[in-house]
């Protein structure tokens, strides 16, 4: 019986030594980076349309949906001289407190215009609590090529729908 138990130990040792000859699964970060899934929930981004207008209409549904109360939205009216988004309102102040955010993606699900999207950036670190509050300037994507930066001056009457179309306006 002792022999049988001893042989069981040897069988275990054979199993472990096999692992020495398998390639290790370690990834040498930061030189090598593990690929992320397509739907990985990283840092948020506020998207724009192709002509440069922001998609966010300042409805604050994302703030209402957030379970951690991390989003703060203040909205203001668009005028034709100073237009930020193709709708009645835009987000004058948009801040996300990254220390509260749990990266659940509910804001992304709640947004009616697909403005707030969770992208793949996960290297988020700060030295103090103040810099953990990400402002609109930090979250807004750069103007796409062919578009104009906001605020834009548009011909009056071109964006008169209360709720904008869901496709990129021409």
Partner 1 sequence: MSDIAILAIDATVKSVILIVVLLTGFAYGTWLERRFIARIQVRIGPNRAGPFGLLQPVADGLKLFVKEDVIPLGADKILFTLAPVITAIPALIVLAVVPIGEQVNLFGYTTTLGIADINVGVLYIMAVTSISVYGIVLAGWASANKYAMLGGLRSSAQMISYELAMGLSILAPVMMTGSMSLGDIIRAQQNTWFIFLQPIAGIIFIITMLAETNRAPFDLPEAEQELTAGYITEYGGMKFAAFFMAEYMKMIAVSVIAASLFFGGYQFTIPFTNIQLHTLLGGWMAPFILGAKVVASLMFMIWLRATLPRIRYDRLMAFGWKVLLPLSLANAVVTAVLVALDVFPSFG
Among 7, 13, 99, 102, binds partner 1 (CB under 8 A): 13
Shortest Å distance, C-beta 104 to partner 1: 31
What's the CA gap between 66 and 73, in Å, rounded?
12
DSSP state of 50: T
4 binds partner 1 (CB under 8 A): no
Among 7, 12, 81, 163, binds partner 1 (CB under 8 A): 12
What's the CA gap between 63 and 70, in Å, rounded?
7
Shortest Å distance, C-beta 15 to partner 1: 8
Q: Using alpha carbons only, give the angle 37, 42, 46 rounded to the nearest 5 degrees.
A: 115
- 146 HSE (CA, 13 A, CB side): 7
Shortest Å distance, C-beta 33 to partner 1: 16
Among 3, 4, 7, 19, binds partner 1 (CB under 8 A): 19
Among 3, 4, 7, 26, binds partner 1 (CB under 8 A): 26
- 20 HSE (CA, 13 A, CB side): 5
Q: Select from 7-15, 61-69, 81-89, 116-124 the region that touches partner 1 (CB under 8 A).
A: 7-15
Contacts of 146 (CB under 8 A, 6+ apart): 50, 51
Per CB under 8 A, residues contacting partner 1 are: 2, 9, 12-13, 15-17, 19-20, 22, 24-26
């Amino acid at each position: 019986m002792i022999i049988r138990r001893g042989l069981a130990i040897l069988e275990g040792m054979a199993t472990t030594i096999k692992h020495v000859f398998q390639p290790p699964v370690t990834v040498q970060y930061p030189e090598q980076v593990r690929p992320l899934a397509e739907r990985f929930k990283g840092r948020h981004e506020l998207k724009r349309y192709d002509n440069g207008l922001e998609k966010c209409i300042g409805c604050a549904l994302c703030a209402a949906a957030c379970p951690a109360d991390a989003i703060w939205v203040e909205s203001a009216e668009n005028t034709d001289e100073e237009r930020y988004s193709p709708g009645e309102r835009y987000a004058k102040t948009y801040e996300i407190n990254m220390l509260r955010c749990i990266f659940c993606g509910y804001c992304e699900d709640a947004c009616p215009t697909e403005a707030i999207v969770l992208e793949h950036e996960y290297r988020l670190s700060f030295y103090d609590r103040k810099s953990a509050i990400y402002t609109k300037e930090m979250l807004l994507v750069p103007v796409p090529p062919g578009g104009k930066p906001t605020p834009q001056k548009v011909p009056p009457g071109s964006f008169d729908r209360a709720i904008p179309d869901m496709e990129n306006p021409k």
